[in-house]
Chain A
């Protein structure tokens, strides 16, 4: 059974349906990517899995248990962390306070200490400036902090919402390399991206969303070679 299973999910903001019946699965240890342009319903799907918005219809299953009725803070405790779109750091708090908030649900002080070291090991700039307010950092550094903060809950499933948004190509590469490292450490990742090239070269599988529906789903290698994907998302003619 897949680690995460989303079945026939529909999510609405008021009367506007942003997600119109999608189903997807993430296997343990995989990197799965959701592709699509703005407004396709990618972020809404993640927000619903995290428990920030309830689904209108459909189910979310995690490790064999249904979680779509749980409040967000309990979903974090089950082992799903999200680095949200736009990073959403606590900007006037220090780097370290941001990271410790990421570990809010944990009781194991030793484990938190170890994961703090692990995040600082991944992103050296965060360690050297750990007492500075998060808002003073560059976009790329803030993205590192946002990913690090999500890692601090020691999640089984890490969901990243457009980690490359607004970053320079070099920064994007760096962030993608980091995601690759997490992947090789065995972290299961659900990655939402507009940068289809970068996402597909990392991912095991991909889903393509259009206006709230899944229009394609295949292995990342096949999607990279798919004409429709190449035309719509990879800028090939």
Chain B
């Protein structure tokens, strides 16, 4: 492999990995607090992409905006729409599908999550078919072009870096910075960490654990929605099934990094993205999904605590 190709694959891997990382954080934050693998989280990511798409439709499906308008008005509005829809959906699933099952055997909420996953996929498929002027939701829907990002590349030496790649990686960096600040520097963030380490003692501190759980779902959903928009820009289209594979990959990333550990989710996502890119380059690209799950199985067998190790509460 020559140097140019190497760097191109590295950039691809980082972009893909940033998507995985943004989604993986949602698995890990929720798991850290209620030990639930929220298998509907991939669909929260999908809903985010559709939320952004819906904003674009509502403002009249503009196609010829100037780049400052597209980049600084339309795109933020689309991201906001995606975040609102994802967070709303996540809070509703928490309230109606998971909270009634708290205290039930762990298999029960897991099955509930799978049910929500199917429900959301089918709901989006059917709902968007009914919308006037909506494209055929059975097929992939072309994501709106954002002038200033879509179709442009940054030339670094011989390597062409798509601006949608840059957007994706920057989105991860910005979200991670906000998340770091939230977790480490705000009172409610500290409450979230305390709850993940020892829920009963957190309650003795006066922390409302239900509120913390809702915030964990909201934070994860917000990042997943950003990933949904980034996916739309980077891949170029969205569809109602997109959350399935992306969700499983991001789950793999979370396990790879150490489920329950936020830094681990970011590291795991990036590592998985890069491995997948290079595996596709070196071998047959049709096998790229196989490698992700080979990694999952190897991690589960040989290092179940993941690269950074889960932050399991020390209950002395």
The reply to whether A104 and B206 contact each other, CB–CB distance below 8 Å, is yes
Partner of A86, one of B190, B193, B204, B316: B316
Set of chain B residues within 8 Å of A84, measured between Cβ atoms: 200-201, 204
The reply to whether B206 and A73 contact each other, CB–CB distance below 8 Å, is yes
The reply to whether B314 and A73 contact each other, CB–CB distance below 8 Å, is no
* Cα distance, A77 to B206, chains bound together (Å): 7
The reply to whether B206 and A93 contact each other, CB–CB distance below 8 Å, is no
The reply to whether A90 and B207 contact each other, CB–CB distance below 8 Å, is no
The reply to whether B197 and A101 contact each other, CB–CB distance below 8 Å, is no
The reply to whether B193 and A91 contact each other, CB–CB distance below 8 Å, is no
* Cα distance, A105 to B207, chains bound together (Å): 7
* Chain B residues numbered 182-214 whose CB sits less than 8 Å from any CB in chain A: 187, 190-191, 193-194, 197-198, 200-209
List the B residue with the shortest CB-CB distance to A150: B204
Min CB gap B195→A, angstroms: 10
Set of chain A residues within 8 Å of B202, measured between Cβ atoms: 101
* Cα distance, A76 to B190, chains bound together (Å): 18
Set of chain B residues within 8 Å of A91, measured between Cβ atoms: 197, 314, 316
Partner of A82, one of B187, B204, B207, B209: B204
Q: Known A88-B198, A90-B193; judge A135-B204 contact (CB<8 A).
A: no
The reply to whether A87 and B204 contact each other, CB–CB distance below 8 Å, is no
The reply to whether A104 and B191 contact each other, CB–CB distance below 8 Å, is yes
The reply to whether A90 and B206 contact each other, CB–CB distance below 8 Å, is no
* Chain A residues numbered 70-126 whose CB sits less than 8 Å from any CB in chain B: 71-73, 76-77, 81-82, 84, 86-88, 90-93, 97, 100-102, 104-105
Set of chain B residues within 8 Å of A56, measured between Cβ atoms: none
* Cα distance, A139 to B198, chains bound together (Å): 19
The reply to whether A101 and B200 contact each other, CB–CB distance below 8 Å, is no
* Cα distance, A76 to B205, chains bound together (Å): 7
List the B residue with the shortest CB-CB distance to A166: B316
Q: How many chain A residues touch the partner (CB < 8 A)?
A: 27
The reply to whether B204 and A90 contact each other, CB–CB distance below 8 Å, is no
* Cα distance, A82 to B202, chains bound together (Å): 11
Of the listed residues B205, B207, B208, B209, the one surrounded by the most CB atoms of chain A closer than 10 A to its CB is: B205
* Cα distance, A88 to B201, chains bound together (Å): 7
Set of chain A residues within 8 Å of B187, measured between Cβ atoms: 100, 104
Q: Known A100-B190, A101-B190; judge A76-B206 contact (CB<8 A).
A: yes
* Chain B residues numbered 269-316 whose CB sits less than 8 Å from any CB in chain A: 311, 314-316
The reply to whether A73 and B203 contact each other, CB–CB distance below 8 Å, is yes
Set of chain A residues within 8 Å of B203, measured between Cβ atoms: 50-52, 71-73
* Cα distance, A50 to B200, chains bound together (Å): 10
A164 is an interface residue with CB less than 8 A from chain B? no
Partner of B191, one of A50, A71, A72, A101: A101
* Cα distance, A73 to B195, chains bound together (Å): 12
Min CB gap A70→B, angstroms: 11
The reply to whether A87 and B190 contact each other, CB–CB distance below 8 Å, is no
A153 is an interface residue with CB less than 8 A from chain B? yes
List the B residue with the shortest CB-CB distance to A50: B204
Against A, the Cβ 8 Å flags (1 = close, 0 = not) of B24-47 are 000000000000000000000000
The reply to whether B316 and A90 contact each other, CB–CB distance below 8 Å, is no
* Cα distance, A118 to B206, chains bound together (Å): 20
Partner of B198, one of A50, A77, A90: A90
Set of chain B residues within 8 Å of A102, measured between Cβ atoms: 205
Q: Known A86-B316, A135-B314; judge A52-B193 contact (CB<8 A).
A: no
Set of chain A residues within 8 Å of B314, measured between Cβ atoms: 91-92, 135
The reply to whether B205 and A104 contact each other, CB–CB distance below 8 Å, is yes
The reply to whether B193 and A93 contact each other, CB–CB distance below 8 Å, is yes
The reply to whether B208 and A90 contact each other, CB–CB distance below 8 Å, is no
The reply to whether A76 and B204 contact each other, CB–CB distance below 8 Å, is yes
List the A residue with the shortest CB-CB distance to B210: A71
Q: Known A88-B198, A93-B193, A101-B194; judge A81-B204 contact (CB<8 A).
A: yes
Min CB gap B272→A, angstroms: 26
Set of chain A residues within 8 Å of B193, measured between Cβ atoms: 90, 93
Can you name 4 extra interface pairs (CB under 8 A) apart from A91-B197, A91-B316? A51-B203, A72-B203, A90-B197, A104-B187
* 6 A–B contacts from the bound complex (CB under 8 Å): A50-B203, A84-B200, A86-B316, A91-B197, A101-B194, A104-B187
Residue ranges of B at the interface with A (Cβ–Cβ < 8 Å): 187, 190-191, 193-194, 197-198, 200-209, 311, 314-316
Residue ranges of A at the interface with B (Cβ–Cβ < 8 Å): 50-52, 71-73, 76-77, 81-82, 84, 86-88, 90-93, 97, 100-102, 104-105, 135, 149, 153
Give me the 7 closest cross-chain CB pairs, A-B, nearest first: A105-B206, A76-B206, A72-B203, A88-B201, A73-B208, A104-B206, A104-B205
